[in-house]
Amino acid sequence: MEKFYVTTPIYYVTAKPHIGHAFATIVADVLARWNRLLGKDVFFLVGTDEHGTKIEKAAREAGKTPKEFVDEVANTYIEAWRTLNISFDKFIRTTDEEHEKAVSEFTRLVWDNKDIYKGVYEGWYCVPDETFIADFEVKEGKCPECGRDVQRIKEDAYFFALSSYKEDLLKIFDENPEFVKPAARSNEILNRLKGEIRDLDITRKSVKWGIPFQLDKEQTVYVWFDALINYISALGWPNESKFTEFWPADVHVVGKEITWFHAAIWPAMLLSADIDLPKTILSHGWWTVDGKKMSKSLGNVVNPIEISKKYSVDALRYFLIKEKSIWEDGDFSEKELVSRINGELLADLGNLVARTLTLAEKFKGKIEGKQEIEDKLNMNKIKELFESYDVNSALNEIWTFVRSVNKYINDTEPWKLTGARLGAVLNNSLEALRIISILLSPFIPSTSDSIQTQLGIKLGSIDDCKFGTFNGKVKRGTNLFNKITV
């Protein structure tokens, strides 16, 4: 059976989940569910990043031990992903014992390969981003990435010889231009690789909340070096067969700001440890709120759980994928969300289901007849868009089909028809709905379930997305979506 391994970033437990985290996780969930529909054996990993300065500090401020603090927030993530119907196979925490062991083993391999040496780190550090920043990168005392204050540090440290992998990394980009998606972001990474590459400090002497560095117990492992290893430790590396089965990952879903870590540092680490590289790094754009980056200080952080309670889980899932290109930034607005619920989920899909099912339930004749709308469904295009991980365009293409089925019903006016002609129009419409319920299931799984219950069928695979003679037993249920008035 073909395998598919997809991961999300592991989130810092300093913040509760917001719509940015929900977005990345839903993108990965859509890919996991789509690949299950293709009949693949899927492993979908999510998790939390629990070590480092920022968490040490947050725990202190909350008056808790780091362990108490991380346990609490990790649970918030697990609950959030369950609420949002995320079909993960494993939730990894970097405080898991197996992960800590894997980090030590990985470090040993890199050491044996002579890629670790001792030195002194003198420079800047951005605590919120957990990144080292060189003098020339600091802008007026601020982090060039997030604009927040940086700290000066000088301490003994161990370095990873990242610079010695420069040529290998350039070769990866040269041989596989699709390694990082989209192309524009791949070019940014490539340009950075062509410039000066500095070795990476991979230990911290002053940070106690971290995995002990086996080669020098006065040091802990730098949080990013620790975190990246989650993608293999979650598979039981260096032991278990799951690693052999699922590695290399098909796709790491990551936000644009952490692409460098995944597209340069992680591959170099893997090369040093002699482990295969992941196939694709999908680098997505950000959500802003009222044009601004979400932050606690601006008070504009949108909580996905509150939104899903107010509207519905599927409304949120649909909106986050439909509203903006996966690669670009987009602005979150509740007004737009409401307009997509009323104008698309209800007006296009909900009404289509309601009117087809109402007619079908009353009809006593045979539901059968020739195909009249199958050419409106472009399965090849949908498959290709999924293969290129463009879930936003895939959903747009599916929605084009939803709209053509509505148009078909408007044009054929089945409410004026009887007998065999009505049976044929109903067959086309019900078959279309059956296929739509399969195609939409990665995006809005509960809605798909409820369409299928009303159609009296069970979810099929992608191979079932072909028109035939409808053989469900219809029973009209409650409306899929209700009009939101504000």
Interface residue list for ligand MSP (CB under 6 A): 9-12, 20-21, 23-24, 49, 227-228, 230, 254-255, 257-258, 286-287, 294
220/412 with CB nearer ligand MSP? 220
243/286 with CB nearer ligand MSP? 286
| H or E element that contains 437 | helix 419-440
12/311 with CB nearer ligand MSP? 12
Residues in the chain: 486
51/434 with CB nearer ligand MSP? 51
254/367 with CB nearer ligand MSP? 254
Q: Whole-number minimum distance, CB 263 to ligand MSP, in Å?
A: 12
User: Which 3 state secondary structure label does DSSP give 39?
Assistant: coil
295/351 with CB nearer ligand MSP? 295
- How far is the C-alpha of 470 from the C-alpha of 456, rounded, in Å? 10
Closest-CA residue to 459 (of 435, 426, 481): 435
Let me know: does 38 contact 62? Beta carbons within 8 Å: no
CA atoms within 13 A on the CB side of 37: 25
Q: Whole-number minimum distance, CB 164 to ligand MSP, in Å?
A: 22
Q: What is the largest CA-CA distance in the chain?
A: 85
- How far is the C-alpha of 245 from the C-alpha of 252, rounded, in Å? 17
Q: Whole-number minimum distance, CB 227 to ligand MSP, in Å?
A: 4
> Between vectors from CA 427 to CA 426 and to CA 432, what angle results, nearest 5°?
95
Residue 67 CA, chain-centre distance (Å), reads 27
20/66 with CB nearer ligand MSP? 20
Q: Whole-number minimum distance, CB 73 to ligand MSP, in Å?
A: 11
CA distances from 439 to 28, 84, 112, 244 (A): 16, 19, 49, 31
Q: Which amino acid is at 468?
A: G
Closest-CA residue to 210 (of 47, 99, 92, 45): 99
Q: Whole-number minimum distance, CB 76 to ligand MSP, in Å?
A: 12
Let me know: does 353 contact 480? Beta carbons within 8 Å: yes
Q: Whole-number minimum distance, CB 289 to ligand MSP, in Å?
A: 8
Q: Bridge-partner residues for 133, per DSSP?
A: 124
209/363 with CB nearer ligand MSP? 209
Helix residue ranges per DSSP H, 265-416: 266-272, 304-310, 313-322, 334-340, 351-362, 379-387, 391-412
264/422 with CB nearer ligand MSP? 264
Q: At what angle do helices 19-37 and 66-83 cross, to 10 degrees?
A: 50
